Structure 1
Amino acid sequence: MAFTFRQLTFFVAAAEQGSVSRAAKALSISQSSVTEAIQSLETDLGVALFDRRARGITLTHRGSAFLRHARQILIDVASARHAFTDVAEQAPGRLTLGVTSLVAGYVLSDLLARFRRAYPQTELSIIEEGGDHLQHLLIGGELDVAVLLTSSVRDRLALHVETLLVSPYRLWLPLGHPLAQQEAIELDALADWPLIQLTGDEIEGSTRDLMQGMTHRPNIMFRTRSVEAVRSLVATGAGVAILPGLTYRPWSLEGDRLELRDVSGDLPTVQVGLAWRRGAPLPAPAAHFIRVAQATVSGG
């Protein structure tokens, strides 16, 4: 196998975006460059990584497995860039980090993997709370940095806020669902199908706004705080769901396949990023974490 760092970067971007065109836009390169890199990678590996469809691409089973390895390789390469960091920066320190449940489930692992490799001597303390409480802890000096939904941060005078990831809502469907065959899926078309709704403080507001934008009242079959419950129910054909793209995985825990589609209209987005207190010196471990998080989300 002779795949390159470039091929892995383009593959991960395409997998996360669900589209070659969106990956090319995110990377600021041509679509043909992404396509050629993925085709070369598939040739090197001897497997198909994506199923190509008219409305985008979806990972194959082997593609989904390889994605985990590709992400880890990119993390390790980025960590190697910090191998010759000044000795002063490698001095032991402590970082108190706050995260929300959405971040803990879908963003935190990659951030921590890279940070721990770059700064192995830093002692970590992580607190999971709702966004409002994390802001209270930041302002009170009880947290160094929080990773949260930045759209929920109210006191911008007291907190520095930096959005790192914007994830639009997208439609989850079971494999072979009739809506997957449509060229353009309108939001109101979802009223004809049982809807499985994810609840919880972090996305409750944007989900409510989305439902209010539908002309016909949606048929909400089930409400749950568990993303995995939504994933399993959709995969087995119990209904459809609209969730932020960052929470999508192509397989349920039971091994059933899901499909992802765009929906026409002005759908909300989830914005994930960092917050830290204004007017106070930023501890070195916190500054290091911010830098690593910026590089991780940007693919650096």
Structure 2
Amino acid sequence: MSKTAASAEARSIPRFTFRQLHYFAAAARCEQISVAAAEVGVSQSAMTLAIAELERSVGATLFERGRLGVSLTFEGQAFLQQAEGLLHAAQEASRLPFHRPAGLSGRLELAATYTVQGYFLMPMVARFRKLFPNVEVVPIELQRPEIESRLRDGSLELAVVLLSNLESRMGFATRMLASSRRQVWVSHNHPLAGRSVVTWTDLAPYPYIVPMMDEADRNSKRYWQQAGLEPASWIRTSSMEALREMVALGLGVTILSDMVYRTWSLDGRRIQPLPLDQHLPVMEIGLAWRTSPVLSTCAAAFREFLGRNGPQAPDVADAG
């Protein structure tokens, strides 16, 4: 390679650091620089400077700054996916390859519900396959009741589910991997969009959009009943992208978790998340596995792999 070509290639390499990516991801998650800085353990000015340097490095504005905090731009949303991939890869490069069993091979059927499979699980399956290329992981999308039943009768070894939706954990063990808060979604020009917080009374005059998956309809009805109110009407859809488009067009409002939130609809219309004044239970994502007989080697390896990517919460088992 000539000196000119090498110089051009060097100039094309982005000059950002993993620390900047870490700060950027924290700010995107918290939507407030001060909150993200406290979570990471640095000063607000240090985080602000790091993010500004990152934006200069990539040549794009990643956040929109406003009175209530920060929100991802369209470019920021796209960059976040790449940044999270790099952070996960760096994390695993530092620890997992040195502890993996040599020559692990086999087949693992891994069950998950719609939301978990689409918004949480697949990147982890891909990373596991890179570490263990001789293990065939077969994702299976099942409804929550069937997952519970099959874990109990032993026809399913391992699943990743919304723990907060489980009817009973009897007969299998669980481990929480992540949690995701629930917020109100409205269009960016909705009458409620400028609020710092909204109430159920604020939401009642508008149609409420319900995704017909992972029992969101059951949960939504329960929330409204507990509030003692009803929305103006119910709009049901089995398509998450249709739901985002309806919200972005101002056709209704909804309450969903941050895990499935995206700043933009497919047509590039803006969606605004708003906190509700009344606490809602967080959505908990976790592992569930049969307790008897003992897990296969492949299932045990995947359980350990996912456990390294989540909080060190104790396992919960009920063999009754």
**Structure 2: which 5+ residue stretches go unaligned?**
1-13, 312-320
Which residue identity lines up with residue 151 of structure 1 in the other structure? Answer: S
Partner of 2:247: 234
In the alignment, is residue 141 of structure 1 matched against residue 158 of structure 2? no
Partner of 1:179: 192
Find 1:19's aligned residue among 6, 23, 32.
Answer: 32
Partner of 1:131: 144
Secondary structure in 1 aligned to 2:284?
A: strand
Q: Following superposition, which runs of at least 4 residues in structure 1 exceed 4 angstroms of deviation?
A: 24-33
Which residue identity lines up with residue 80 of structure 1 in the other structure? Answer: A
CA displacement 1:52-96 (0-9 Å, x = unmatched):
222232110111111121122123323433674367444212222
1:132–1:216 CA distance, 2 compared to 1 (3 A): closer
CA distance in 1, matches of 2:37, 2:225: 33
Give the count of matched residue pairs.
298
Partner of 1:114: 127
Which residue identity lines up with residue 69 of structure 1 in the other structure? Answer: Q
Partner of 1:222: 235
Find 2:110's aligned residue among 97, 102, 120.
Answer: 97
CA distance in 2, matches of 1:134, 1:72: 29
RMSD of aligned Cα (Å): 2.3
**Structure 1 stretch displaced more, 239-248 or 190-199:** 190-199
Contact 2:114-2:214 at 8 Å conserved across structures: no
TM-score for both structures, normalised by structure 1 = 0.89
CA distance in 1, matches of 2:29, 2:213: 24
In the alignment, is residue 209 of structure 1 matched against residue 219 of structure 2? no
1:37–1:138 CA distance, 2 compared to 1 (3 A): farther
CA distance in 1, matches of 2:308, 2:37: 18
**Structure 1: which 5+ residue stretches go unaligned?**
none
Which is greater in Rg? Answer: 2
Q: In the TM superposition, what is the alpha-carbon distance from 1:247 to its structure 2 partner? A: 0.9
1:99–1:258 CA distance, 2 compared to 1 (3 A): same
Contact 2:151-2:171 at 8 Å conserved across structures: no
Q: In the TM superposition, what is the alpha-carbon distance from 1:128 to its structure 2 partner? A: 0.8
TM-score for both structures, normalised by structure 2 = 0.84
